[in-house]
Amino acid sequence: MFPLFFGDGCFEEGVTHESLNFAALHRLPVVFICENNNYSVYTSLSERQPNRSIHGIAAAHGLTTFSGDGNDVEAVTRAAENAVEFARSGAGPQFLEFSVFRWREHCGPNFDDHLTYRTPENVVEGQKRCPIQLALSKLAESKNFDDQNSRIVRAIKQEIDDAFRFAIESPIPAVGELGKFVFAEA
């Protein structure tokens, strides 16, 4: 089973449609996952495409499709598990489209909201749907969540601190080791 992730902007490329068609024709065990943040670089989907769903187009190629809220961790998990199960069972390629919010710039770690391709209101509304915060809110309703969460956070922080300490205290590798572990040994 092969998962393929891409954004909604890729759906306008011919190779995407050729891939969907080929996978459907040969009933390949592929799960296509479209993270639809509604923008290709800085251009809204409504300015690039007629009013139609991406998963609907995938269905027209002969794929089994699902669309949902990419900010709902549980819904994404259920959809992914079902798609993987169907693909592995020989049911052919699956297509998942998840609506998500783009937090950072198109390419890179910075914010790009100063470019005004989306409104400040859109940004605020999108950030309210943070998948981590939504999942934490659901988990917080369970018994003993605070204790379990604190333990997990402390363990992760310790693991990160240990990794940084190891890296900082490690000797600088010799120039001859630059290619080591880059390629598989024959």
Please state, for a pLDDT cut of 90, what percent of the chain lies above it.
61
pLDDT tens profile 65-119: 999 999 999 999 999 999 999 999 999 999 999 999 998 888 889 988 889 899 9
Same domain, 52 and 144: no
Strands (E), the chain: 2-7, 30-36, 39-40, 43-44, 64-69, 94-99
The predicted structure's pLDDT at residue 57: 94
Identify the residue whose tokens are 């080591």: 180
In a domain, 89, yes or no: yes
The predicted structure's pLDDT at residue 94: 97
Same domain, 32 and 121: yes
Virtual torsion, Cα 116, 120, 122, 128, nearest 10 deg: 140
In a domain, 175, yes or no: no
In a domain, 34, yes or no: yes
The average pLDDT across 159-185 equals 92
pLDDT tens profile 123-160: 999 999 999 999 999 988 888 888 888 999 999 999 99
User: Range of 137's domain?
Assistant: 132-168
Identify the band that residue 121 occupies on the pLDDT scale cut at 50, 70 and 90: very high
**Domain edge (last residue) among 82, 110, 129:** 129
Distance set, CA 15 to CA 21, 35, 43, 73 (Å):
10, 17, 20, 29
Q: Alpha-carbon distance 101 to 128, whole Å?
A: 10
Is the confidence at residue 44, as pLDDT, over 90?
Answer: no
Q: Which two tokens mark 37?
A: 């943040």
Please state, for a pLDDT cut of 70, what percent of the chain lies above it.
100
Is the confidence at residue 12, as pLDDT, over 90?
Answer: no
Q: How many domains does the chain have?
A: 2
Q: Alpha-carbon distance 101 to 167, whole Å?
A: 34
The predicted structure's pLDDT at residue 180: 86
Q: Which residues pair with 68 in a beta bridge?
A: 98
In a domain, 185, yes or no: no
